[in-house]
Amino acid sequence: MKRRVVITGIGPVTPIGIGKEDFWQSLLSGKSGVGMITAFDTTNFNVKIAAEVKDFNFENYGDKKEGRRMDRMAQFAVAASKIAVQDAGLDMSKENPYRCGVCVGSGIGGLHTFTEQTWKFKEKGPRFVSPLFIPMILGNMASGEIAIACGMKGINTCLQTACATSTNALGDAFRSIAYGDADVILAGGSEAAVNEMAIAGFGNMKALSTDNDRPQQASRPFDKTRNGFVLGEGAGVLVLEELEHAKQRGAYIYAELAGYGANCDAHHMTAPDPTGEGAAECFRMALMDAGLQPEDVDYINAHGTSTELNDKAETLAIKNVFGEYAYKLAVSSIKSMTGHLLGAAGGIEAIATVLAITKGILPPTINYENVDAENGLDLDYVPNKARAADVKVALSNNLGFGGHNACIVLKKFE
């Protein structure tokens, strides 16, 4: 018998707000976090926009000296974890640390450090490369630093499945708790890739929107005029907990994580299978794991990147699984507001889904103005305004480069 797993704490660090209240209010108001890039000089770049985290100061979450030994990606991860632990009311002095773990991934890792130290190597030579260069660029350092900051000595893993990273991390953490390896796990993802190399790389592969003249409208998932995603940064970490453990300590329960599916398109390095077949099978796996039928689902928090291929393939996958019922489902993408946080996307999107269940309000897909009927993108994408809804069951989907598909099922707790 699998043990039941619930969510008792949430920690968003995002371009539209840090902490539960700021993040949620921004989602409800349809606030865009996209603007002109401030992290570097974009004079020679075709892409000049991104969704940056504003007013982030690591000293609000940890020691200044320790912060200097972390890449920005790890700083975001530690901050999000501390917010989530506080939100859960988790007192580690009362817990067995070996039953408390971490599963937080990153799609790219310490890219800021890698770029900075590479320039230093080229300009000054090998003796000037920081002795902390290697640990600071490692993707697993987010999980390691979280464990140190929060005192968690149990299972500690890091996944790297591109844009599916966070959802895979949540799924693996869910199974670890369900099958008795831990009682509490901090799970999610972190990313800090708004820098010269990422913008150049994604830009040159024509994946990014170039709507520099209207940054807040540039991310428009499922809209007929979509022309690429907007790069975002931040972290999303959730406290996953075994049900009886949560009840014994009197924790508030946001929702239940009831099912998980993961597979691979095995189709192309970056493009999704255009038929959506792999994603569809992934959604079915998650529903089967939860013991639910397609008609039980009320809402889908979509991957919805605002790229031509992804939005079409994901819509086809939804229709494949849900048939005519797909037209009765609400489907929205918060990437319209946050941009695409790559490996951290699933973390903040799971938080948004949990809050949609708890609050009974669906976050919208902003900037949705033109129906792409010729490509079959004709579902209810919750256009432009938040909507009240009784959400008992929701899916949160993420699809990554390499063909990685991941889906979790979240339920109203009963």
Q: Pinpoint the alpha helices (H) of 179-307.
A: 196-204, 243-248, 277-290
In a domain, 254, yes or no: no
Which of 103, 163, 282, 407 is the catalytic position?
163
Q: Pinpoint the alpha helices (H) of 42-155.
A: 64-68, 72-88, 111-124, 133-137, 141-150
The reply to whether 217 and 288 lie within a common domain is no
What CATH number should be reported for the domain holding residue 360?
3.40.47.10
In a domain, 255, yes or no: no
For the chain, the first-to-last Cα distance in angstroms comes to: 18
* Burial (CB count <10 Å: 0-12, 13-18, 19+), residue 144: middle
The reply to whether 141 and 275 lie within a common domain is no
Q: Pinpoint the alpha helices (H) of 139-242.
A: 141-150, 165-178, 196-204
The reply to whether 181 and 269 lie within a common domain is no
Domain that holds residue 365: 260-411
The reply to whether 184 and 308 lie within a common domain is no
Left, alpha or beta for 237 (phi > 0: left; psi -120 to 50: alpha)? beta
Instruction: Please state the pTM of the whole predicted model.
Output: 0.97
Give the amino acid at 45. F
Closest CA to 329 of 286, 385, 391: 391
In a domain, 224, yes or no: yes
315: which 2 tokens?
Answer: 């819509």
407 is catalytic: no
The reply to whether 133 and 234 lie within a common domain is yes
What is the SS3 assignment for 87? helix
Q: Which pLDDT value is given to residue 118?
A: 96
138: which 2 tokens?
Answer: 């490692």
163 is catalytic: yes
Among 227, 248, 269, where does a domain finish? 248
For the segment 286-341, what is each residue's pLDDT rounded down to a tens digit? Answer: 999 999 999 999 999 999 999 999 999 999 999 999 999 999 999 999 999 999 99
Question: In residues, how long is the chain?
Answer: 414
For the segment 114-152, what is each residue's pLDDT rounded down to a tens digit? Answer: 999 999 999 999 999 999 999 999 999 999 999 999 999
340 is catalytic: yes
The total number of structural domains that make up the chain: 2
| Cα 29 from Cα 361, distance rounded (Å) | 12
The reply to whether 239 and 278 lie within a common domain is no
For the segment 148-192, what is each residue's pLDDT rounded down to a tens digit? Answer: 999 999 999 999 999 999 999 999 999 999 999 999 999 999 999
CB atoms within 10 A of CB 228: 22
The reply to whether 166 and 134 lie within a common domain is yes
For the segment 7-23, what is each residue's pLDDT rounded down to a tens digit? Answer: 999 999 999 999 999 99
* Burial (CB count <10 Å: 0-12, 13-18, 19+), residue 155: buried
The reply to whether 285 and 240 lie within a common domain is no
Among 195, 227, 248, where does a domain finish? 248
* Burial (CB count <10 Å: 0-12, 13-18, 19+), residue 115: middle
The reply to whether 264 and 207 lie within a common domain is no
Among 248, 279, 308, where does a domain finish? 248
Which of 100, 303, 404, 407 is the catalytic position?
303
The reply to whether 192 and 285 lie within a common domain is no
**Number of Cα atoms under 13 Å in the Cβ half of residue 234:** 33
